[in-house]
Amino acid sequence: MSVRGRFFLISWIAFVGAGLISWVMPSFSLSFLILVPLFVLGITDCLQTSHSVRRNFPVIGNLRYFFELIRPELQQYFVESNSDGRPVPREMRSLIYQRAKLDNESVPFGTQRDVYEASYDWVNHSIFTSKFPEEELRFKIGGPQCTQPYIASRLNISAMSYGALSPTAIEALNKGAKKGGFYHNTGEGGISHYHLQGGDLVWQLGTAYFGCRTQDGRFDEVAFQQKSKLPAVKMIELKLSQGAKPGKGGLLPGPKVSPEIAQIRMVEAYKTVVSPPSHVEFKSSDGLVQFLKKLRMLSDGKPVGFKLCVGKKWEFIDICRAMIRNDIYPDFITVDGSEGGTGAAPLEFTNHIGTPLNEGLHFVVETLRAFDLKDRIRVIASGRVFDAFQLLIKLALGADGVNSARGMMMALGCIQALRCHTNHCPVGVATTDPGLYKGLHVPSKAERVAHYHEKTIHALKEVSEAMGIQSFSNLSKRDFYRRIDTHTQSNFEEVFPTAERGILLKKPDQLSPYWRKFFYEEDSFSSDLPVRA
């Protein structure tokens, strides 16, 4: 007999049995309170056509969906070891929570890492420790073409839109940024009231130009000019791509476009909005730098930059050439790694598209150096930077500062339940459901965001002192090591070599085979300057 048949047989026996017992013992009739809902559930399972498991195994088939639902929690609470857990390992999550709550963050008994395992990284300390100056923990963004430079922290809040995050989450992040003196990137969803809580903002413009767009989705100069002059807006970031889904546009379904979101983003309420995969305002590297110039001019000289995940190398080289050709330079470039986070993205995009952060950062930094642009453009890195050592590695590779998205979400109370895309975030961080986001207590979470930042920057200072350096410009890639296998290690200079300054301004045939391959993915040249179109 099929399980379905057995379900009807058992139901019949249960109902008849319960009826007979209730006849002699009336209080037993309460059992119908359980039997009737289970029977209705079983009938619904049999009649529905979407799930074969439920159809074939009425009632008990639902257990599969229940366990699937709580799989991340089961994994986290019962299976995962300290170094397991993706995307943020348990060890890092615990550290962020401890720092955010000002709990004891020291660990007992020594490292749990296998220091002889391939890809283990470490840094050499000095016998002669240093006193690291406080002013080194901040850096100036704004080249000669900018009239309102900004002094940024080495660690900041990465782009996350209002809509992807809840209003209370945005408010707590912004208040945290104010308390700790670091910036808060708005993400591409525009500037909301929740962003204006006193913290410094980087206003991000994506391909849909939310907050400064015309009805047909083009860039609206007047709206941009007005909002970019808000005192809270310290810098402007043009998003070209994002590591978790490079080359992928977005779609905000009509039902999610509430009147409030519509007003912030300058779109029609309850109408689906499409973010194209690339910009409609420019179609070439020259167009990009000219657009950056326009943004700087309209914002009265605030620092402007762009964010990208490195894809085709020649395109970035072409952008550098366009900077020189047009004599227009961004004030900063944000390099996002393919390991970066997102609210929602297709699996192929998150898993396999775009360059991981270390390689992307190395490429951007060395290309800028090779065009002799490194000193005038600041580089900001993002992608799984959670502690001070990871931050220091990015600085050693040539970044000036880092942005963190998921680290800051953890400081807000994210438990990595991995439901950001369902609107059912249990802790009210990534949801638009008031029943959930009202549970996020803004004042205490703002404190936690500020504490996480403060403690991580403090750890950065302590590690730098242990290395005996007094400036991040003294960081040497030769002090950082990576284990290749049990018996061999390489220093970071060997893994991520430094290019000679200005080498790409010379003839390419003067490049060594290594750098030809690095910049142009070719071993040799038959023609001059291979800028492909």
Ligand X SMILES: Cc1cc2nc3c(=O)[nH]c(=O)nc-3n(C[C@H](O)[C@H](O)[C@H](O)COP(=O)(O)O)c2cc1C
Closest distance of CB 179 from ligand X, Å: 20
Is 285 near ligand X (CB under 6 A)?
no
Identify any residues that bridge with 238 across adjacent strands, giving them in sequence order: 205, 306
User: In 195-217, which positions are buried (b, 16+ CB within 10 angstroms) versus exposed (e)?
Assistant: bbbebbbbbbbbbbbbbbbeeeb
Q: Among 456, 356, 464, 361, which Cα is nearest to 407's?
A: 456
Q: Among 152, 148, 150, which Cα is nearest to 301's?
A: 148
Cα 186 to Cα 161: distance, rounded to the nearest angstrom: 6
Is 383 near ligand X (CB under 6 A)?
yes
Cis peptide before 87 (omega within 30 of 0): yes
> Which of ligand SF4, ligand X, none lies near 417, with the C-beta cut-off 5 to 8 A by kind?
ligand SF4
Indicate the residue among 59 and 164 with the shorter CB distance to ligand X. 164
Q: What are phi and psi of 329, to 5 degrees?
A: -125, 130
Which residue is it, tokens 């991520």? 496
Give the number of other CB atoms < 10 A from CB of residue 513: 10
Instruction: Tokens for 232, please give them.
Output: 């809270």
> Which of ligand SF4, ligand X, none lies near 384, with the C-beta cut-off 5 to 8 A by kind?
ligand X
Cα 31 to Cα 319: distance, rounded to the nearest angstrom: 73
Among 118-126, 159-167, 274-282, 520-528, the segment contacting ligand X (CB under 6 A): 159-167
Is 153 near ligand X (CB under 6 A)?
no
Cα 55 to Cα 59: distance, rounded to the nearest angstrom: 9
Indicate the residue among 160 and 450 with the shorter CB distance to ligand X. 160
174-193: contacts with ligand X (CB under 6 A): 187-188
> Which of ligand SF4, ligand X, none lies near 414, with the C-beta cut-off 5 to 8 A by kind?
ligand SF4
Indicate the residue among 137 and 415 with the shorter CB distance to ligand SF4. 415
Torsion angle, alpha carbons of 178, 179, 184, 186, to 10: -60
Indicate the residue among 308 and 425 with the shorter CB distance to ligand SF4. 425
Closest distance of CB 309 from ligand X, Å: 8
Torsion angle, alpha carbons of 38, 39, 42, 46, to 10: -170
81-140: contacts with ligand X (CB under 6 A): none
Is 164 near ligand X (CB under 6 A)?
yes
Cα 400 to Cα 137: distance, rounded to the nearest angstrom: 10
212-251: contacts with ligand X (CB under 6 A): 239, 242-243
> Which of ligand SF4, ligand X, none lies near 429, with the C-beta cut-off 5 to 8 A by kind?
ligand SF4
402-441: contacts with ligand X (CB under 6 A): 404-407, 420, 430
> Residues 59, 159, 304, 320: which binds ligand X (CB under 6 A)?
159
Is 76 near ligand X (CB under 6 A)?
no
Number of chain positions touching ligand X (CB under 6 A): 26
Closest distance of CB 417 from ligand X, Å: 13
Identify any residues that bridge with 489 across adjacent strands, giving them in sequence order: 483
Instruction: Tokens for 242, please give them.
Output: 């994002």
Is 384 near ligand X (CB under 6 A)?
yes
Among 131-139, 211-219, 283-291, 376-384, the segment contacting ligand X (CB under 6 A): 376-384
Residue 520 CA, distance from chain mean position: 29
> Which of ligand SF4, ligand X, none lies near 367, with the C-beta cut-off 5 to 8 A by kind?
none
3-class DSSP state of 202: strand
> Residues 76, 145, 156, 158: which binds ligand X (CB under 6 A)?
158
Cα 181 to Cα 153: distance, rounded to the nearest angstrom: 7
Closest distance of CB 66 from ligand X, Å: 26
Is 331 near ligand X (CB under 6 A)?
no
Closest distance of CB 406 from ligand SF4, Å: 8
Cα 223 to Cα 513: distance, rounded to the nearest angstrom: 49
> Which of ligand SF4, ligand X, none lies near 161, with the C-beta cut-off 5 to 8 A by kind?
ligand X
Instruction: Using alpha carbons only, give the angle 313, 332, 217 rounded to the nearest 5 degrees.
Output: 80
- Burial of 525 from C-beta contacts in 10 A (0-12 / 13-18 / 19+): middle
Q: Among 34, 32, 56, which Cα is nearest to 45's?
A: 56
> Which of ligand X, ligand SF4, none lies near 418, with the C-beta cut-off 5 to 8 A by kind?
ligand SF4
The sheet with strand 480-485 has its strands ordered as 121-123, 480-485, 488-491
Closest distance of CB 468 from ligand X, Å: 29
Rg (CA), the chain: 27
By the 8 A CB rule, do 344 and 241 touch? no
> Which of ligand X, ligand SF4, none lies near 168, with the C-beta cut-off 5 to 8 A by kind?
none
Cα 201 to Cα 231: distance, rounded to the nearest angstrom: 9
Is 388 near ligand X (CB under 6 A)?
no
What letter represents residue 44's amino acid?
T
Is 168 near ligand X (CB under 6 A)?
no
- Which residues would be at the binding site for ligand SF4 (CB under 6 A)? 409, 414-420, 425-427, 429-430
Closest distance of CB 410 from ligand X, Å: 10
Indicate the residue among 100 and 420 with the shorter CB distance to ligand SF4. 420
Among 46-54, 68-76, 291-299, 335-343, the segment contacting ligand X (CB under 6 A): 335-343
342-371: contacts with ligand X (CB under 6 A): 342-343
Residue numbers at the binding site for ligand X (CB under 6 A): 158-161, 164, 187-188, 204, 239, 242-243, 307, 336, 340-343, 382-384, 404-407, 420, 430
